């Protein structure tokens, strides 16, 4: 009888240790998702999205897909700055984003074209 009680106590202790280890390894993370469009409302693929945790400098990067969507996962909680960059467009920055445990905010962006308005050439060919 004593042997079975001791064995049961040992199994119980092992379960408690395993459970406490699992809880101790839990990481507090969140995700950010969104859609990126141009000024006309068209979706922009290929936009580089950089999330920088302002307290630590940790950065994570994603690239928008064919529908302009992006997803940044496994971000440690805390304050963030998002930067959206694509050649031919002005960089867009969003600050003051604070991620909390298991929050998944949707943060959309609109990028403005950096191209100047086309100029008409006043050059005219001369005849000889």
Query: Is-contact 44 111, C-beta < 8 A?
Result: yes
> What's the total number of domains in the chain?
1
Q: In terms of residue numbers, what domain contains 63?
A: 28-111
Q: How many helices (H) and strands (E) does the chain have?
A: 1, 7
Tokens of 3: 């042997």
Domain membership flag for residue 5: no
Phi/psi-derived region of residue 87, left when phi > 0, alpha when psi is between -120 and 50, beta in every other case:
beta
The per-residue pLDDT for range 58-80, each reduced to its tens digit, is 999 999 999 999 999 999 999 99
CATH of the domain at 76: 2.60.40.10
pTM surpassing 0.85? Answer: no
Tokens of 100: 């909390």
Domain membership flag for residue 47: yes
Domain membership flag for residue 12: no
């Amino acid at each position: 009888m004593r042997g079975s009680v001791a064995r049961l106590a040992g199994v119980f202790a092992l379960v408690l240790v395993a459970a406490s280890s699992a809880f101790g390894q839990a990481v507090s993370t969140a995700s950010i998702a969104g859609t990126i469009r141009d000024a006309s409302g068209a979706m922009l693929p290929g936009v580089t999205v950089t999330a920088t945790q302002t307290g630590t400098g940790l950065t994570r990067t994603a690239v928008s897909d064919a529908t302009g969507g992006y997803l940044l996962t496994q971000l440690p909680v805390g304050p963030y700055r998002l930067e959206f960059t694509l050649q031919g467009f002005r960089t867009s920055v969003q600050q003051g984003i604070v991620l909390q445990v298991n929050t998944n905010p949707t943060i959309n962006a609109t990028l403005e074209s950096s191209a100047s308005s086309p100029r008409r050439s006043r050059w005219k060919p001369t005849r000889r």
